[in-house]
């Protein structure tokens, strides 16, 4: 079963200097994974047109889906869509539908359109605007050279509201597959001691992604969060596969005296 490859590019110098915690990337990666995509890259890049162009072109050459966040606002350093237009050899044009979205947002607040506000309605030629139910800046969906490029604002609550709207528009790209993740917390055993048991339990589902995440101290107070990610055509089968691994782990832990 073919699963589309995806890249995520989060844009903004505030990410590179550590001023902002990049929660957008993890949220997008999880949503893409649960829809059946395989996320190959998560990249942070500053507000440089050249840098964004380079990463977008790399993404187009390797991914079926490319999601960017950040750089859609009214300020001079918001350059994402300008860079995507350049990366795909397109003009950046005033999109009438996007302009209506921007105008409706500011009209509700009895504010006039200014040059800075109109700037948010400029999209790469051929792009479809994504409604922003929370903020002012529309998103953008562009199909270029075999890749769907989704551009969303960097404000997390705006991005989270818009991402499903964008992904629904390309639902045909995702496989007919169900992804399920089950987990359990294990206390009192070091991760190094759990590792061989987890290796044996993982054999119950060779195509599952099984991972341990230590949350406590390795020796003094070990707490391990074990996650099992399984896929199948039907959700019942995906859950069954993940549960097999956890049940086998329970059996092995009981045999080890835990």
Cut 0.85: pTM above it: yes
Q: What is the pLDDT of residue 255?
A: 82
- Please, what are the domains in the chain? 5-173 (3.40.980.10), 178-255 (3.30.300.100)
| Residue 187: CB atoms within 10 Å | 11
Q: What is the pLDDT of residue 215?
A: 87
Judged against a pLDDT cut of 70, whether residue 231 lies above it is answered with yes
The mean pLDDT of the chain is 95
| Residue 108: CB atoms within 10 Å | 8
Over residues 157-180, the mean pLDDT reads 96
DSSP string, 161-203: HHHHHHHHHTGGGS-S-EEEEEEEEEESS-HHHHHHHHHHHHT
CA distances from 52 to 66, 75, 145, 187, 205 (A): 12, 17, 17, 44, 39
Judged against a pLDDT cut of 70, whether residue 219 lies above it is answered with no
The residue among 122, 98, 102, 121 whose CA lies nearest residue 112 is: 102
Q: What angle do CA 236, 240, 246 make, to 5 degrees?
A: 145
Judged against a pLDDT cut of 60, whether residue 145 lies above it is answered with yes
Can you tell me the distance from the alpha carbon of 125 to that of 122, in angstroms, rounded to the nearest whole number?
A: 9
């Amino acid at each position: 079963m073919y699963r589309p490859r995806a890249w995520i590019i989060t844009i903004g110098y505030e990410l590179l200097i550590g001023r902002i915690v990049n929660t957008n990337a993890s949220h997008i990666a999880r949503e893409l994974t649960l829809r059946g995509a395989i996320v190959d890259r998560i990249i942070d890049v500053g507000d440089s047109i050249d840098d964004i162009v380079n990463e977008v072109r790399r993404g187009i050459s390797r991914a079926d889906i490319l999601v960017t966040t950040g750089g859609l606002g009214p300020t001079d350093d918001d350059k994402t869509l300008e860079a995507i237009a350049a990366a795909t050899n397109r003009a950046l044009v005033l999109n009438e539908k996007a302009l209506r979205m921007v105008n409706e947002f500011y009209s509700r607040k009895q504010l006039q359109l200014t040059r800075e506000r109109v700037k948010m309605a400029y999209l790469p030629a051929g792009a479809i605007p994504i409604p922003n139910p929370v903020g002012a800046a529309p998103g953008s969906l562009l199909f270029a050279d075999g890749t769907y490029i989704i551009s969303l604002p960097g404000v997390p609550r705006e991005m989270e509201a818009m991402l499903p709207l964008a992904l629904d528009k390309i639902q045909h790209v995702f496989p007919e597959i169900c992804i399920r993740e089950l987990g359990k917390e294990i206390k009192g055993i070091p991760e190094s001691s759990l590792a061989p048991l987890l290796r044996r339990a993982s054999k119950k589902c060779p195509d599952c992604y099984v991972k341990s995440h230590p949350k406590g101290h390795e020796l003094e107070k070990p707490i391990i969060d074990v996650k099992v990610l399984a896929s199948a055509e039907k959700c019942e089968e995906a859950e069954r596969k993940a549960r097999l691994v956890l049940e086998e782990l329970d059996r092995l832990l009981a045999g080890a005296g835990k």
